[in-house]
Structure 1
Amino acid sequence: MKFGIYYSYWEQEWSADCLPYVERVAKLGFDVIEIAAHHLNNYSASHLDEIGRCARDNGILLTAGLGPSEACNLSSADADVRKAGRAFFEETLQNIAKLDIHIIGGALHSYWPVDFNKPLDKTEDWKRGVEGIASLADFAADLDINLCIEVLNRFENHVINTAEEGVKFVTETGKSNVKVMLDTFHMNIEEDSFGAAIRTAGPLLGHFHTGEANRRVPGKGRLPWHEIGTALREVNYTGAVVMEPFVKSGGQVGKDIRVWRDLSNNADQQKMDDDARESLNFSRFVLQG
């Protein structure tokens, strides 16, 4: 397993530049940094080159996360929105390929966060999502990119909420580079068993996020990390394990994640770094065995 962290742990805006964090996570001992793909299309070619060069110089692998906007929803009932989504994804995938990124995960099949005040049709959204991802998969495969479909909790998405649904969705695409993505925060809400969910995903598990039930760093809560690690080893998972903690309120990040209080105990930047490093050591110990 390779262990990483999502750089928005330190930020309040999704649009924040990831470059300053590449060397930072390397010094903390991580193997991987996950970056937000939302705004890569606004980066200049030279800035993309700089990010890629910094990652190579520091021995850091890059992965990407994405919660598409409603205007880029591949499962929309509006054909124009689906068309815009396809154009957005093609541009985004080409840019992450320039960074030697081979994994992009998130609600790729839908949009995030879902507006539950609008009418929903899970059956039709599922059908259009499968069609959109299956169509996009060949384009991604030509760039050597896996599309990892995240299983989200009921309060953030309505299409895929469990590992079982994730496996069914991915299987229906019929594409080998479409995988299941699990996240312990969402699993804590939806799954009867962490271990059973991971075993259900099995060889289709392409990406894995970690975080406590309240979104603190792993090791500062109550999740059954030994059970999670045992299951990951049983399915021979060798991919990235990326912690995705959100502990600071404020900004668009705090609003979208619903962080309404400071979960860091008023940590300064040094304490944030220390907590991340300690959680990394904890994660390696309990998940790798």
Structure 2
Amino acid sequence: MSLQVSFGVSTWLWTSPFSTSNARDLFAKISGMGYDMVEIAVEDPQLIDTAIIKEELFRNNLQVAICGAFGSTRDLSSDDVALQKNGLQYIATCLDIAQQLGASFFAGPMYAAVGKARMVAAEQRKTEWERAVKNLRIVSGMAADKGLQLALEPLNRFESDLINNVQDLLQLIKDIDHPAARIGLDGFHMNIEERDATQAIVDAGEKLIHFQVSENYRGTPGSGQTNWNAYLKGLKEINYKGAVSIESFTPDNKELAGAVCIWRKLAEDQDTFAREGLAFLKQWAQG
């Protein structure tokens, strides 16, 4: 039995930050390769003109997902109230963008700033956890008011000290206690943090609404040592019918490459990455 999913790819594979000026050529390329969906990474909402982007999505027959970028100034768990407020405002704007473009969810590790990985006392961790829960309960309500869900994403230990795996995230969602709070998984982080990828997907269950992939080294799917059969088994077991979306990053933008620690080219070029990755995923999904 094959996996009945759609296939997407992140704008981060080619560009950072994404802007309206990128949409026409990039969407035509993505659609022409055979993708069903584009995952738009919103780093700067001011660069997004939803009317034009919506037109380009329609022109190229592409579904859309919206993913956030959570730098140090957007931190819902911060001691600094101003950073919490900035994070909430950013998320509110991204939810507007998602609604206007016809997305069904907003995705990302929005509980804390990416790269916030420290050894902290249990009391400090508890305080930050409670801040994340409180703020994400607010965000969940904002999302629900717009008919959206949140795809909350665990990050590996080198990028977060708060949420590293599915079990962490299930506890967070239990504490948030809002139906809009759901799960998005990224196989790259799972390869580092999950003992059993199949079981992690099964544990996420019906809460899993988005699944991102790349190779274990962030390269082209099928070119590394990722256990793709484990993903397939888990996704089939929960009857997952969402998108499987490639997320990796262009080495051409030095700021982005530095932030995600990509010090070399991961493929011949980004177009080859996308084409070969999609070909592999389509074959993989057939079982």
TM-score normalised per structure 1:
0.90
Q: Note the 1:55-204 alignment, pairs <5 A.
A: 55-114=57-116, 116=118, 121-204=124-207
SS in 1 for 2:9: strand
Match for 1:10: what amino acid?
Answer: W
Q: Which residue of 2 aligns with 1:3?
A: 7
The change in CA–CA distance for 1:140 and 1:288 in structure 2 (over 3 A counts) is: farther
Q: Which residue of 2 aligns with 1:279?
A: 277
- 1:223 is paired with a residue whose SS is coil
For residues 287 and 154 of structure 1, the distance between their equivalents in structure 2, rounded to whole angstroms, comes to 29
Aligned pair 1:24/2:29, yes or no? Answer: yes
The whole-number CA distance in structure 2 between the counterparts of 1:24 and 1:200 is 36
Q: Distance in 2 between matches of 1:288 and 1:239?
A: 15
Distance, in Å, in 2 between the alignment partners of 1:288 and 1:123 is: 44
Shift of 1:78: 2.2
1:228 to 228, 231, 234: 231
Distance in 1, Cα, partners of 2:127 & 2:284: 40
SS at match of 1:156: coil
Which piece of structure 1 moves more, 67-76 or 196-205? 67-76
Please give the residue correspondences for 1:40-59 in structure 2 after superposition, counting only pairs within 5 Å. 40-43=45-48, 47-59=49-61
CA 1:163–1:115: 2 relative to 1, 3 Å: closer
One-letter code aligned to 2:272: D
Q: What code does the residue aligned with 1:160 have?
A: I
Q: Offset at 1:250?
A: 4.5
Residue identity in the other structure for 2:279: N
CA RMSD of aligned residues (A): 2.0
Residues 167 and 204 of structure 1 are in contact (CA less than 8 Å); yes or no, is this contact kept in structure 2? no
List per-residue Cα deviations over 1:53-89 (Å, max 9, x = no partner).
Answer: 1111211011111132322211112223222322222
Q: Over residues 238-257 of structure 1, what are the superposed CA-to-partner deviations in whole Å (9 max), with x where a residue is unaligned?
A: 11111112363542210111
Displacement, 1:15?
4.4
SS in 2 for 1:72: coil
Whether the aligned pair in 2 keeps the contact of 1:4 and 1:31 (CA below 8 Å) is yes
CA distance in 2, matches of 1:68, 1:261: 24
Deviation at 1:276, TM superposition (A): 1.6
Letter in 1 for 2:31: A
Q: Could you tell me which runs of 5 or more consecutive residues in structure 2 were left unpaired when the two chains were aligned.
A: none
Question: Residue 118 of structure 1: CA displacement?
Answer: 9.1
4+ aligned runs moved over 3 Å, structure 1: 15-18, 115-121
SS of the residue 2:285 aligns to? helix
Q: Secondary structure at the match of 2:40?
A: strand
CA distance in 1 between partners of 2:272 and 2:81 (Å): 48
State the SS of the aligned residue for 2:99.
Answer: helix
Aligned length: 280
Return the alpha-carbon distance in structure 1 between the equivalents of residues 153 and 192 of structure 2.
14
Q: Which moved more, 1:187-196 or 1:71-80?
A: 71-80
Which residue type is aligned with residue 70 of structure 1? S
The whole-number CA distance in structure 2 between the counterparts of 1:113 and 1:16 is: 24
Q: Rate the CA distance shift 1:117–1:129 in 2: closer, same or farther, 3 A.
A: same
In structure 2, the CA distance between the partners of 1:171 and 1:282, relative to structure 1 (3 Å rule), is same
- Alignment partners' CA distance in 2, 1:117 and 1:132: 23
Identity of aligned residues (%): 28
Q: 1:90 to 1:16 in 2, by over 3 A?
A: closer
